[in-house]
Structure 1
Amino acid sequence: MSTSFSRLGPILLGVVAIAGVACSKKGGADADQSVPVVVATARQGGFVVYRSQPGTVTPSNSVLVRSQVDGVLKSIAFSGGQMVKQGDVLAEIDPRASQAQLQLATGDLAASQAKLSNAQETLKHFEVLATQDSISAQRLADQKSLVAQYAAEVKSEQGRIGTANLQVANARITSPIAGMVGLRRVDPGNLVGPSDSRGIVVVTQSQPSKVVFSVPVNVVPRVLQGLNAGTCIPVDAYGDSPDEVLATGRLRAANNEVDPATGTVKFEAEFANTDNALLPNQFVTAKLPVQVLPQAILVPAAAVQQGAQGPFVYVINDDKTAAVVPVKLGPGDTSTAVIASGIAAGAKVVVEGADRLRSGTSVTATASAAPAPASATSAPECHNP
């Protein structure tokens, strides 16, 4: 046994030595291998800072149409969703009660006018007799008072006739504004009147429409600066998807106080809404520019990494090694990051492959095929709705 081990010992040691050399060569090759990364070049340009806030669509005018007279609803002259003009007939109330009141007032007026005419003729006769001292002054005064009384009755009856005519006219309910009618709230045959809280229908004028939204108070001064200067500030209204632009309008007004519960100020934007894409009480997202940075350092948002000490980027040095550079971020969006400090324009930053990097790691850099961060020297154009 001892003789066998003594013979195999040198052979085993040689195999181990050869394997160790092979492993050391393989490890050295792995250590010298470069990490492939995709890089983009930081550039200087203008950047528009946008603010997106939830808002609610409100029509420019909305009217709950009620009957101004008590009566039975005779007919409906509209369909839900129909566009109507101002003055179009919407419904009709049974006018017979109002017509009867008009007839009574007309008869009373005729009687009062007859009394007035007779009293005036008698007054003329009394005035002639008074010049001949054939009638007392008191009787002449009484006759003048009677003429004035009948004249007042005539005016009162004329007022009753005007009221009765108005009631007859109000039996035909017309649209007070141009817009779209909603679903009818009452059926023919029902008794309706001014005290009916349901009303007959709601007419909304949605062209133009408004969107009311709130802006944090720390952003308000920048928005008000442009608004008070008369600058046209464009506002986009988005639906459920961030790519779904429903309408484009402009900022019109701001509230004059801060909501203490939320620390925000309400703003109002106006939209032409010619295609009726915005519906009353619809929830949308209002997006508006609040600031323009004319000379910002821009990099793709994917280049920014987060560490224990804050945000940083991997910058590729001239010797093709990666360096960790802490940065301070400015306002950005989902695709572009604004670098307030840390790197300058022209720096090559890693946008893909950063998970395999450490400071000093050798890299093989490939330029990014994605477009450069968008830039703008001014806010987008604004058109009046």
Structure 2
Amino acid sequence: MPLLRAKSSSRLALLLLAAAAAGCNSEKAAAPPPQQTQVSVVVLHPQPVAITAELPGRVAANLVAEVRPQVGGIIKSRLFKEGSEVKAGDLLYEIEPAPYQAAYDSAVAAQQKAEAAAVNARLRAERYRELLQRNAASQQDTDDATATLAQARADVAAAKASVETARINLDFTKVTAPIGGRVDRSTLTPGALVTANQAVALTTIRQLEPINVDVIQSSTNLLNFRQAVAEGRLKLSGGNVAVKLKLDTGADYPQAGKIEFAESTIDVTTGTFTVRAEFPNPDRLLLPGMFVRAVVEEGIAPNSFLLPQRAVTRNPKGEATAKFVQADGKVEQRVLTTRRSIGNNWLVDTGVKDGERVIVEGGQLVRPGQTVTADEVSVDEATGELKSANRRAQAPGNTAKN
């Protein structure tokens, strides 16, 4: 009997062990599969991309005129408001005209005297010619009378020139604006003595509408640009290249300009050349001497890919890399060739195909070869932030209640 009880106990223990093993196997079979990591992706498509260059520039007046007196004298009055807008021909200063008025009157009197002498010489010459025909006067006397007439006519011409000179000097006592624009402060006040063509300008007028911006461009950028055009990577956008400005405050200037000309020589010291752009300036917001940033549209890069900057990282070699989700859901890491930044994107030359999905969020949590779940999103071009329907549905305030 004791032997039978021992055998029964052994059988019971074996059955319990078998049941426990079966339970463990059933628990393992019922365990759920591990969840795949979710990443956000952007689908890439080729597009024409406007290539721009942001360059330093300085504002310069379209026209500049330094106003100087052309005759000497005492300034009688100033007839403009400093800092105001003037038109071409507006009266700015008046120099005491009395001496020049007297000189003009004297020149007019001298002209009248010369004209009277010329009339007398003409009549005398005519009489001598008549007497010569009747052999009542000698040839010598006739020649002398003719020469006297020519001299009198020359005196009349000289007198007329003197009158014109005196008139011009009299007109110069009224100093007018040679161009239209904004007039600076006056360097002299009424009562000051001025001389003709003096070194110190009375004032300066600058034309501010339109206004110029001189942009500094490097010769290296010029060569790269021409090479890109020659290789077909860049197409010219047209004859009138558009230019935009960014002010020191970071704001965009509301008016667009156009390129007027580029210098034909390179500065041997700096290796740069100047490109001049012209801008409308109706509100006089741009003033000469201001520093600005000019955004120049160089051309169009056709069939190009833009990758969000948040999707691109650098490997230990300094190469640009990005992670893509393949059709089977596996992650692939790829080395890219980036040309330049465009806003919040990188312009990529090689390593991307149409329809590929690049990871823009969650890439640091996955490794190449790993299978992931891709959530397609879009990127705000202005801010670089992600946008998707799923994100809006999960935002606070949009959570569904059971």
Correspondence for 1:344: 353
Show CA shifts across 1:37-86 (max 9, x none). Answer: 44333332221111111112222221111111111111111112222222
- Cα separation, 1, equivalents of 2:302 and 2:237: 20
Correspondence for 2:321: 312
Matches of residues 297-336 of structure 1 in structure 2 within 5 Å? Answer: 297-309=305-317, 310-317=319-326, 322-336=331-345
The SS at the match of 1:332 is strand
In 2 relative to 1, CA 109–291 (structure 1 residues): closer, same or farther, beyond 3 Å?
closer
Match of 1:146 among 145, 148, 168: 148
Matches of residues 1-385 of structure 1 in structure 2 within 5 Å? Answer: 37-220=39-222, 222=225, 231-309=239-317, 310-317=319-326, 322-360=331-369, 366-368=375-377, 370-371=379-380
What is the CA-CA distance between 1:357 and the residue it aligns to?
A: 4.7
Task: Report which stretch shifted further, 227-236 or 252-261.
Answer: 227-236
Question: Are 2:75 and 2:192, in contact at CA under 8 Å, matched by a contact in 1?
Answer: yes
The SS at the match of 2:277 is strand
The two structures have a TM-score, normalised by structure 1, of: 0.79
The SS at the match of 2:189 is coil
AA paired with 2:129?
Answer: E
Task: Report which stretch shifted further, 225-234 or 309-318.
Answer: 225-234
Question: Are 2:72 and 2:194, in contact at CA under 8 Å, matched by a contact in 1?
Answer: yes
Task: Report which stretch shifted further, 303-312 or 365-374.
Answer: 365-374
The two structures have a TM-score, normalised by structure 2, of: 0.76
- Cα separation, 2, equivalents of 1:80 and 1:296: 54
Show CA shifts across 1:157-213 (max 9, x none). Answer: 111000001111111111122222122222111122333222122122222222221
Question: Are 1:247 and 1:277, in contact at CA under 8 Å, matched by a contact in 2?
Answer: no
In 2 relative to 1, CA 228–203 (structure 1 residues): closer, same or farther, beyond 3 Å?
farther
AA paired with 1:350?
Answer: I
AA paired with 2:304?
Answer: A
- Cα separation, 2, equivalents of 1:359 and 1:82: 69
What is the CA-CA distance between 1:150 and the residue it aligns to?
A: 1.9
Question: Are 2:236 and 2:298, in contact at CA under 8 Å, matched by a contact in 1?
Answer: no
Task: Report which stretch shifted further, 196-205 or 253-262.
Answer: 253-262
Q: Bigger radius of gyration, 1 or 2? A: 2
Task: Report which stretch shifted further, 354-363 or 220-229.
Answer: 220-229
What is the CA-CA distance between 1:300 and the residue it aligns to?
A: 0.6
What is the CA-CA distance between 1:311 and the residue it aligns to?
A: 0.9
The SS at the match of 1:330 is strand
Question: Are 1:53 and 1:213, in contact at CA under 8 Å, matched by a contact in 2?
Answer: yes
- Cα separation, 2, equivalents of 1:45 and 1:80: 54
- Cα separation, 1, equivalents of 2:150 and 2:381: 92
- Cα separation, 1, equivalents of 2:334 and 2:358: 10
Question: Are 2:235 and 2:300, in contact at CA under 8 Å, matched by a contact in 1?
Answer: no
- What 5-or-longer segments of structure 1 have no aligned partner? 1-31, 375-385
Show CA shifts across 1:119-168 (max 9, x none). Answer: 33333333333334333322222222222222211111111000001111
Task: Report which stretch shifted further, 308-317 or 169-178.
Answer: 308-317
Question: Are 1:58 and 1:210, in contact at CA under 8 Å, matched by a contact in 2?
Answer: yes
- Cα separation, 2, equivalents of 1:181 and 1:315: 62
In 2 relative to 1, CA 242–365 (structure 1 residues): closer, same or farther, beyond 3 Å?
farther
Task: Report which stretch shifted further, 255-264 or 35-44.
Answer: 35-44
Task: Report which stretch shifted further, 248-257 or 220-229.
Answer: 220-229
AA paired with 1:82?
Answer: S
The SS at the match of 1:183 is coil
- What 5-or-longer segments of structure 2 have no aligned partner? 1-33, 384-402
Corresponding pairs, count: 343
- Cα separation, 2, equivalents of 1:318 and 1:302: 22
Identical aligned residues as a percent? 26
In 2 relative to 1, CA 105–223 (structure 1 residues): closer, same or farther, beyond 3 Å?
farther
What is the CA-CA distance between 1:322 and the residue it aligns to?
A: 4.0
Question: Are 1:43 and 1:299, in contact at CA under 8 Å, matched by a contact in 2?
Answer: no
- Cα separation, 1, equivalents of 2:299 and 2:107: 69
- Cα separation, 1, equivalents of 2:361 and 2:198: 67
What is the CA-CA distance between 1:345 and the residue it aligns to?
A: 3.0
What is the CA-CA distance between 1:94 and the residue it aligns to?
A: 0.9
- Cα separation, 2, equivalents of 1:120 and 1:242: 80
AA paired with 2:167?
Answer: N
- Cα separation, 2, equivalents of 1:130 and 1:58: 74
What is the CA-CA distance between 1:36 and the residue it aligns to?
A: 5.8
- Cα separation, 1, equivalents of 2:295 and 2:168: 49
In 2 relative to 1, CA 340–326 (structure 1 residues): closer, same or farther, beyond 3 Å?
same
